[in-house]
Structure 1
Amino acid sequence: MTAKGLEVIEHTVHLTHEWINELCERLDWSSHKDALRLLRVTMRTFRDYLSHDEIAQFTAQLPLLIRGMFYEGWNPSPTKGKDRHLDAFLAEIDAEVSNVTEYRGSEDIRTVLRFLNARLSSGEIEDIRASLPEAIREFWPSTKI
């Protein structure tokens, strides 16, 4: 037990570092800050396509700090329709991370999605994929081999 009894905070910080380190390795990036930024932006971009129930199920599997980043700035009231095309989805992410030196566009976004496939239950990933527009669902690699 820690001196202040805040093991849950220490655990989530440790787990968040594990996630960032693994993602950085998968991306072959040197900047952990940029890898976290790409993860955050990618998750926030597909968040608006999901139902509130699906969001709650998805985030239950995230480390607490990453879950907070996912929800940060979210307005759960109905939003106007999002463009359902893959190009718009990718452009929304590109607009947030295109100034990252190591960013390689859709290749890196797919790496983030594969990372989520590896870290979360395949059932939950498939539920999320099923909630997305067809073109985006096809872009997100399936957990089924």
Structure 2
Amino acid sequence: MTVRHSSAFDTAAHRAHRWVDQVAAGFPTADEVFVHRVVRAWLHLVRDELAVPAAARFASQLPELLRGTFYEGWKPEHVPYRSDPRTFSGRFAEAAGIRGKDVPEVLSVVTSRLDLLMSGSLVDKVLGTLPAELRDLLRGEAGDS
């Protein structure tokens, strides 16, 4: 009989799963595929709006597997992208596979749940580097466009 010990991969998967579960708690669904898709879209689109130092600072607190998701496909030489809120919303809806009218609520849930998971007000610090309109959209404070 082979005894299997918990590996670093198991630990990394458990940490990422715990974070996805925490984000899922903000939605009326436990659909992990949906939650991973919206988290991935949030990570990629916010990452592309940040300067390289802010992106690296943010990624440093993500669990290892979500950090890999964050950096997947990143082209640091092309950032910050600086979308206006309408463009950002459209890109997010497409990447997350959601309706445009649901974007503000979904962004707000992901932002608030990540804020609970990260230490030192990191989410606020990183969002503070973004234009006010985009920051407000991510926090769910944007007015109707």
Q: State the TM-score, normalized to the length of structure 2.
A: 0.82
What corresponds to 1:27 in structure 2?
A: 27
Could you tell which deviates more after superposition, 21-30 or 58-67?
21-30
Cα distance between partner residues in 2 of 1:139 and 1:69: 22
Please list, as runs of the form range in 1=range in 2, the aligned pairs for 1:21-60 lying within 5 A after superposition. 21-60=21-60
Kindly provide the amino acid, as one letter, of the partner of residue 77 in structure 2: S
Kindly provide the amino acid, as one letter, of the partner of residue 59 in structure 2: T
Kindly provide the amino acid, as one letter, of the partner of residue 75 in structure 1: K
Evaluate the alpha carbon distance shift between residue 69 and residue 80 of structure 1 in structure 2; reply closer, same or farther with a 3 A threshold.
Answer: closer
What corresponds to 1:97 in structure 2?
A: 96
SS in 1 for 2:94: helix
Please list, as runs of the form range in 1=range in 2, the aligned pairs for 1:1-145 lying within 5 A after superposition. 3=4, 6=7, 8-79=8-79, 81-83=81-83, 85-99=84-98, 104-141=102-139
- CA drift at 1:3: 4.5
Cα distance between partner residues in 2 of 1:99 and 1:89: 13
Partners of 2:45 and 2:88 within 8 A in 1: yes
Q: State the TM-score, normalized to the length of structure 1.
A: 0.82
Evaluate the alpha carbon distance shift between residue 135 and residue 27 of structure 1 in structure 2; reply closer, same or farther with a 3 A threshold.
Answer: same
- Which ranges in structure 1 are unaligned for 5 or more consecutive residues? none
Identity rate, percent:
22
- CA drift at 1:42: 0.8
Evaluate the alpha carbon distance shift between residue 118 and residue 43 of structure 1 in structure 2; reply closer, same or farther with a 3 A threshold.
Answer: same
Root mean square deviation of aligned Cα: 2.4
